[in-house]
């Protein structure tokens, strides 16, 4: 999967790939850790079940709920989102990641 993504995005200016996962028990299994260590991905870690940082919880679910009302095709809905909306979602996510680091992994309010 990682190799295929790199091939598909070969023209990208992104030289370092970051992988984000929620560090739950399932995702921290030894086989998963070995795969990630050998994949060349930089792993962005955070505490298990940290909904403050779950991209879908704060950025995509509400948007999807609004956009999908009466529709069934999530892929097309995501494809129709303007690039600026995706940039804003990821900018908000990086701000949350910084807050998480600043608060030493403790819970913080959404402000």
In this structure, of 8-17, 64-73, 84-93, the range with the lowest mean pLDDT score is: 8-17
Query: What pLDDT is attached to residue 78?
Result: 74
Structure tokens at 105: 């992994």
pLDDT greater at residue 100 or residue 6: 100
User: Has this prediction a pTM greater than 0.75?
Assistant: no
The string of pLDDT tens digits covering residues 25-84 is 766 778 878 887 887 777 766 655 555 666 666 666 667 777 666 666 667 777 788 888
Strands (E), the chain: 18-20, 42-44
Integer CA distances (angstroms), 12 to 5, 8, 16, 82, in order:
11, 9, 10, 19
Residues 108 and 49 sit within 8 Å (Cβ to Cβ) = no
Q: What is the pLDDT of residue 83?
A: 86
Confidence label for 11 from pLDDT (cuts 50, 70 and 90): low
94 pLDDT above the threshold of 70: yes
Helix (H, G, I), strand (E, B) or coil at 38: helix
Give the start-to-end residue ranges of the domains of the chain.
1-44, 51-103
Q: What are phi and psi of 43, to 5 degrees?
A: -90, 125
Q: How far apart are CA 26 and CA 110, in angstroms?
A: 27
In whole angstroms, give the CA distance from residue 4 to residue 14. Answer: 15
The alpha-carbon radius of gyration of the chain (Å, integer) is 16
Q: What is the pLDDT of residue 36?
A: 78
């Amino acid at each position: 999967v990682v190799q295929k993504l790199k091939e598909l995005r070969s023209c990208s200016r992104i030289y370092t790939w970051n992988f984000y996962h929620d560090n739950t028990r399932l995702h921290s299994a030894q086989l998963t850790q070995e795969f990630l260590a050998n994949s060349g991905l930089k792993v962005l870690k955070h505490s298990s079940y940290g909904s403050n940082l779950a991209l879908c919880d704060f950025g995509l679910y509400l948007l999807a709920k609004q956009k999908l009302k009466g529709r069934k095709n999530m892929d097309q809905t995501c494809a129709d989102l303007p690039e600026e909306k995706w940039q804003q979602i990821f900018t908000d996510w990086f701000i949350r990641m910084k807050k998480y680091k600043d608060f030493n992994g403790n819970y913080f309010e959404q402000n």
